[in-house]
Amino acid sequence: MHTGDQAPPDRITLEELISVQGYRWVAGVDEAGRGPLAGPVVAGAVITRPGDEIPGVRDSKLLTPLQRERLYQIITSRALSWGVGIVGPREIEQHNILQATLRAMKAAVLCLDPAPDFILIDGMNCIAVDLPQWAVKRGDARYPCIAAASIVAKVTRDRLMLEYHRAYPLYNFARHKGYPTREHREAIRRYGCCDIHRRTFRGVKEHLEADDGGFQEGSRC
């Protein structure tokens, strides 16, 4: 079983991984939302069909929102299987952002049908599933299936943040998606925190009030 303790070869391609090592369904896994002050962390998992290369698929951070939406539609319609995992702010606070991210990745993988027999994960950490896997630094630049997963994760999370914008318009989540922009930090200073803010994150925890029992739009935390 390959794990994060055994790094993948520098130049092996997905096709070689399938043909030489005999794996059939290889899933790419990536996340979106580790750095924001608000909202969930979301993971995507995608098994692309062998030989089906989708033009334009690359790391979601290198794409415009319109490009991501277009590719999301193509990926989800043509992939053999795809799934998402979502972990919210309270669970992030409880387990820390790394563990929450790994939980989201595991949930995304468990959604896949057919189940993969090998997993390629963007990053440095493997996930707690009993499957052969490699954690690949900058994997979204090396493997199209990981890049596809990054797009699925990013689009899913951005859509969720648009819904949160409607619930908490004072914070303008539609613009910054919960990331620590100057506008977002100023909104926290002015209005306090809302229910989707991550209370253990720097930029939020400084504004908490120990005697306040909950979160409401526009109220102090």
Residues 83 and 141 in one domain: yes
Residues 110 and 131 in one domain: yes
- Stretch 11-34: mean pLDDT, rounded? 80
Residues 21 and 82 in one domain: yes
The region of weakest confidence among 10-14, 140-144, 188-192 is: 10-14
pLDDT value, residue 84: 98
The pLDDT-based confidence of 184 (bands split at 50, 70, 90) is very high
The pLDDT-based confidence of 188 (bands split at 50, 70, 90) is very high
The whole-angstrom separation of Cα 37 and Cα 172 is 13
130 token code pair? 């009993």
The whole-angstrom separation of Cα 181 and Cα 112 is 35
Please choose, from the candidates 125, 61, 120, 131, the residue with its C-alpha nearest in 3D space to the C-alpha of residue 97. 125
Residues 73 and 100 in one domain: yes
Note the residue count of the chain.
Answer: 221
The pLDDT-based confidence of 53 (bands split at 50, 70, 90) is confident
- Stretch 24-32: mean pLDDT, rounded? 94
Please choose, from the candidates 156, 155, 172, 43, the residue with its C-alpha nearest in 3D space to the C-alpha of residue 194. 172
pLDDT, one tens digit per residue, over 133-151 is 999 999 898 899 999 999 9
Residues 156 and 172 in one domain: no
Residues 82 and 184 in one domain: no
Residues 159 and 202 in one domain: no
pLDDT, one tens digit per residue, over 192-213 is 999 999 999 999 998 886 335 4
Domain interval for residue 45: 14-164
Residues 159 and 174 in one domain: no
Asked if residue 9 belongs to a domain, the reply is no
Residues 179 and 106 in one domain: no
Residues 19 and 92 in one domain: yes
Q: Are 60 and 151 a contacting pair, CB within 8 Å?
A: yes
pLDDT value, residue 73: 98
pLDDT value, residue 15: 64
Asked if residue 193 belongs to a domain, the reply is yes
Q: Over 70: is that where the pLDDT of 11 sits?
A: no
Residues 26 and 51 in one domain: yes
Asked if residue 81 belongs to a domain, the reply is yes
Domain count, the chain: 2
Residues 96 and 192 in one domain: no
The domain spanning residue 158 has which CATH number?
Answer: 3.30.420.10
pLDDT value, residue 1: 38
Asked if residue 97 belongs to a domain, the reply is yes
Q: Over 80: is that where the pLDDT of 216 sits?
A: no
- Stretch 61-71: mean pLDDT, rounded? 95
pLDDT value, residue 22: 77
